[in-house]
Amino acid sequence: MAALDANACGLPLVTVDHRMNAVSDLVTEGTGLVCEPTADELSKAIIRVLDKSAAMRTKCIELARGYDWDRISRVIEKVYEGSD
């Protein structure tokens, strides 16, 4: 939910690539970055997003508008079904 809230405010996401990270599914071209789960890669991704955040703002808002509560609940349900 926090990720979609951030997108709705025009804020791009920076997250790590991990099998238990559902947020990475929300990052599409131009709405943020998914990086390897290391401090070095995370800091590089944050800097890249800060440099391009103005260009990403509109895409983030458009992505968030595509989610209604029915779609959000389906995404959350898939996350819970996949957790062990």
Give residue 84's pLDDT band: very low, low, confident or very high (50, 70, 90).
low
Segment 23-42, tens digit of pLDDT: 888 898 899 999 999 999 99
Domain locations in the chain as residue ranges = 2-82
Give the model's pLDDT for residue 83.
63
How far are the Cα atoms of 5, 39, 59 from residue 47, in angstroms, in the given order? 21, 12, 18
Please tell me which residue, 8 or 23, carries the higher pLDDT value. 8
Segment 39-82, tens digit of pLDDT: 999 999 999 999 998 889 999 999 899 888 888 788 788 878 87
What are 36's two structure tokens? 């390897």
* DSSP labels, 7-66: HHTTPPEEEE--TT-GGGGG--TTSEEEE-SSHHHHHHHHHHHHHHHHHHHHHHHHHHHT
Give the model's pLDDT for residue 56.
93
